[in-house]
Chain A
Amino acid sequence: MPGTPGAAALDPRTKLVLLLLANLMLFLHAGAATQAIMTALFLLPLVAAGRRRMATRFAALYTVLAVAAMLDPESLGAPWLHVIPALAVGLGMMLPCLITGAYAVSTTTASAFVCAMRRMRVPESVVVPCVVVIRFFPTIAGDYRRIRETMALRGLVSGRFAALRHPMRMLEHVLVPLLMNAAFVAQDLSVAALTKGLGRSGVHTSRTTIRMRAVDWLFMLACAAPLALDTAGVIG
């Protein structure tokens, strides 16, 4: 049930801090050891949230990248191979951001997300479009499927590589119905939202309650520590 997050769930604001920490690490060029420690730490909440398969995949990917980064092209006598370890280093740096992002996206309900934004005093003019974005993604997926099916039935730009041979025509056929429908749906959503009071002035509350608990603070601290030590030159 939402509103009563399990013991394993972190507050959305903690997730935001984790994202920021991951970004900060990218920014600060943390050393390899710090990076490995932080990555391991970031994987913990994923495991706690029951996303074990996702965590395992990320861990495996990180290991592969770490090994690839150790590749020494010069000793192999092929300088052009530098592209592989360079790529591995780069992706390895990005991975913590992706892990924290995947954690935030896959474990936050729309309701908790909205509640967190309201608690952080994000203006309603940003909150409302964000709710609509979440609401509208499945509609886009459904519309796209129906458009492609009709194109297949009518033999329009169908077949292998059709999208490559006529990219602009294909884009037009897909985009026009998508855009038309978007305009219609925007109107219907507006009508529904207005009658339900979305435009009311005054405070808008949330059915979900979010709360920073000890585990949130502790985990934030645990993740911030290696980074701080790295910057101070203790590890790295």
Chain B
Amino acid sequence: MSVVDPVRVHGVSFRYANAAGAALHDVSLGVRAGECVVLCGASGCGKTTLTRVVNGLAPAFFHGDLDGSAVTCGVDAARGPVDRLTPLAGSVFQNPKTQYFNANTTDELAFPCENMGMPADEIGRRVADVARRFDVTGLLDRDAFRLSGGQRQRIAVAAATVLGPRLVVMDEPTGNLDAAAVDDMRRAVIRLKAEGVAVLIAEHRLAWLNGVADRYVLCERGRITREWDAGEFLAMPAGRVADLGLRATDLGPARSRVARLKASAPAVGGADDGALLRTEGLVVGYGGRSRRASPLRRRGRGERRDAFRRAIPDMALRRGEIVGLMGRNGAGKTTLVRTLTGLSRPLSGRILLDGAPARARGLMRVGFLVMQDVNQQLFADSVRGELSLGMDPSDGDLAARRERLLDDLDLADVADRHPMSLSGGQKQRVAIGSALMCGKGLIVLDEPTSGLDRPRMERVGALLRDLARRGAAVLVVTHDEELAAGWCDRVIGMSS
């Protein structure tokens, strides 16, 4: 055999600098050309670290001690700069917002070629070619910040492939995509396999890989504990998959339950049915004034921020109820929840709070939006301080309420830590805690489970239930069928 396997990891152990325990213990893994291998397992099991070892980021960028041998596309990945692997192995990361180095999509596709020192005409040829193969020609020369998450991930795959690598490594590429965008991702992986590219994917969401993945590898506490070929893995009963802590491989049951939850949405009652919030003839959106606010020009033509209007069927949100809001990217979900929390003004129609028409200011007082990126919602230097930030300290009841809430949200152990030093789930709970301290009656969560494994997703679900039990109206914007099926009382579907 003259062709070496793109991934050959042998007996690798890795410990991050400044970390107590090892992230990987004696791991071995091979991926052949044209093969798609899925790394699954709970958060923190070491699958991300393994992808970093394969694409050379650990230990070159994420410093630490590596034992064993990691050979990627014939290059010793454990030694030397990351960029020796650039033409051989492409990488796609989870967060579509931050893996872009350029603001313009064509620049991003050309970027690896430029770094390889290719002449301009060859760059142009390669960009056009890769755009055609991955069906992103229509997305060329656009502002990456104006694309949807799914469109950005498609560009990211194309950018990882533009140099014709033998391996593509993906670290949770669908973390935050809607069903249609996940389908696009699936097509892209099929394309890569057909071209003989090896694909290594670390992923929580598994259903989209059915029929694409050839092997599944389970990581647990830094070790590879199980391996299945696709047939064996998909034949496992749903309960067994759940016991392993994995997301469902078959979303059929979840999808049909969501469909039932959508159908069973009750008719909107009269004004006196005790709903916290109800909408009447609401139209949400934003105006079509063009805005140029960029340091260096980002393309003039067709760049106008388009006007957006969406009529919302009348809806009601009640205390103690968890309502799911689902629909494709671009259906107006975000604009709707921003309007419901008073952050945007409705274009027409009105919103009633406890039966009385409410203005934006009133809605802002009652509602809270837990954003997808919760990092921008925390301000204080300790979790305890965060909960009582901006409150009247002379309120004698304050401290007692705060301590109770810390216990309820399972934050008592970290009460003195800085909120930004916590895990994502803990930060989410701190943000929710700050909203509860303000006495918010409506808690809106935007994609609270994106990129979460099953146990963590279930904890979020339990948290939603707990919020509802406390008497809050909970509205959750989500693409996660498993969350919606398991925890929502009703689902409102928005079509575009």
Direct contact of A and B (CB under 8 A): yes
Where the two chains meet, the residues of A that have a C-beta atom closer than 8 Å to any C-beta of B are: 1-3, 50, 105-111, 113, 131-135, 137-139, 141-143, 146-147, 149-157, 172-173, 176-177, 180-181, 184-185, 188-200, 202-209
B131 vs chain A, min Cβ distance (A): 13
Query: Is B112 a contact partner of A196 (Cβ separation < 8 A)?
Result: yes
With contacts A135-B100, A197-B112 taken as known, whether A204 is within 8 angstroms of B117 at the C-beta atoms is yes
Q: Which of B114, B295, B341, B378 has the most CB of A within 10 A?
A: B114
Q: List 12 A-B contacts (CB under 8 A).
A: A109-B298, A111-B102, A150-B376, A151-B379, A153-B343, A155-B365, A155-B390, A189-B98, A191-B57, A199-B81, A207-B124, A209-B120
List 15 additional contacts besides A105-B296, A152-B343, A153-B367; criterion CB under 8 Å.
A131-B102, A134-B296, A135-B100, A150-B377, A154-B435, A155-B390, A172-B379, A177-B379, A194-B60, A194-B82, A195-B89, A196-B111, A207-B110, A207-B114, A207-B127
**A54 to chain B: closest residue by CB:** B292
With contacts A131-B101, A153-B364, A192-B100 taken as known, whether A108 is within 8 angstroms of B296 at the C-beta atoms is yes
A14 vs chain B, min Cβ distance (A): 16
**B293 to chain A: closest residue by CB:** A141
With contacts A131-B102, A138-B145 taken as known, whether A109 is within 8 angstroms of B297 at the C-beta atoms is yes
B181 vs chain A, min Cβ distance (A): 19
Interface residues of B in 53-87 (CB under 8 A from A): 55-57, 60-61, 81-83, 85-87
**B391 to chain A: closest residue by CB:** A155
Please name all residues of chain A whose beta carbon is closer than 8 Å to the beta carbon of B93 when the two chains form the complex. Answer: 188, 191-192
B363 vs chain A, min Cβ distance (A): 10
Query: Is B115 a contact partner of A198 (Cβ separation < 8 A)?
Result: yes
With contacts A3-B124, A153-B369, A189-B98 taken as known, whether A146 is within 8 angstroms of B389 at the C-beta atoms is no
Is B264's CB within 8 Å of the partner chain A?
no
Is B241's CB within 8 Å of the partner chain A?
no
B280 vs chain A, min Cβ distance (A): 23
Please name all residues of chain B whose beta carbon is closer than 8 Å to the beta carbon of A207 when the two chains form the complex. Answer: 106-107, 110, 113-114, 120, 123-124, 127
Please name all residues of chain A whose beta carbon is closer than 8 Å to the beta carbon of B107 when the two chains form the complex. Answer: 110-111, 207
**A138 to chain B: closest residue by CB:** B145
Please name all residues of chain B whose beta carbon is closer than 8 Å to the beta carbon of A184 when the two chains form the complex. Answer: 98, 375
Alpha-carbon distance A110/B113, docked complex (angstroms): 16
Interface residues of B in 210-242 (CB under 8 A from A): none
Interface residues of B in 358-389 (CB under 8 A from A): 364-365, 367-369, 371, 373, 375-379, 389
Is B95's CB within 8 Å of the partner chain A?
yes
**B343 to chain A: closest residue by CB:** A149
Is B317's CB within 8 Å of the partner chain A?
no
Is B294's CB within 8 Å of the partner chain A?
yes
Please name all residues of chain A whose beta carbon is closer than 8 Å to the beta carbon of B98 when the two chains form the complex. Answer: 184-185, 188-189, 192
B81 vs chain A, min Cβ distance (A): 6
B373 vs chain A, min Cβ distance (A): 7
Partner of B294, one of A132, A138, A142, A193: A138
Query: Is B295 a contact partner of A133 (Cβ separation < 8 A)?
Result: yes
Partner of B61, one of A141, A190, A203: A190
Query: Is A150 a contact partner of B371 (Cβ separation < 8 A)?
Result: yes
**B56 to chain A: closest residue by CB:** A195
Query: Is A198 a contact partner of B101 (Cβ separation < 8 A)?
Result: yes
Query: Is B115 a contact partner of A110 (Cβ separation < 8 A)?
Result: no
**A186 to chain B: closest residue by CB:** B98
Is B438's CB within 8 Å of the partner chain A?
yes
Partner of A208, one of B97, B120, B294: B120
**B126 to chain A: closest residue by CB:** A207
Alpha-carbon distance A104/B461, docked complex (angstroms): 52
B440 vs chain A, min Cβ distance (A): 8
Is B489's CB within 8 Å of the partner chain A?
no
Please name all residues of chain B whose beta carbon is closer than 8 Å to the beta carbon of A113 when the two chains form the complex. Answer: 296
With contacts A177-B379, A192-B93, A194-B57 taken as known, whether A109 is within 8 angstroms of B114 at the C-beta atoms is no
Is B148's CB within 8 Å of the partner chain A?
no
Query: Is B104 a contact partner of A111 (Cβ separation < 8 A)?
Result: yes
Query: Is A205 a contact partner of B118 (Cβ separation < 8 A)?
Result: yes
Alpha-carbon distance A159/B112, docked complex (angstroms): 47
Query: Is B110 a contact partner of A194 (Cβ separation < 8 A)?
Result: no
A90 vs chain B, min Cβ distance (A): 25
Q: Binary interface profile of B, 298-331, with partner A (CB < 8 Å = 1, else 0)? A: 1110000000000000000000000000000000
Query: Is A108 a contact partner of B82 (Cβ separation < 8 A)?
Result: no
Alpha-carbon distance A138/B291, docked complex (angstroms): 13
Query: Is A154 a contact partner of B124 (Cβ separation < 8 A)?
Result: no
B251 vs chain A, min Cβ distance (A): 29
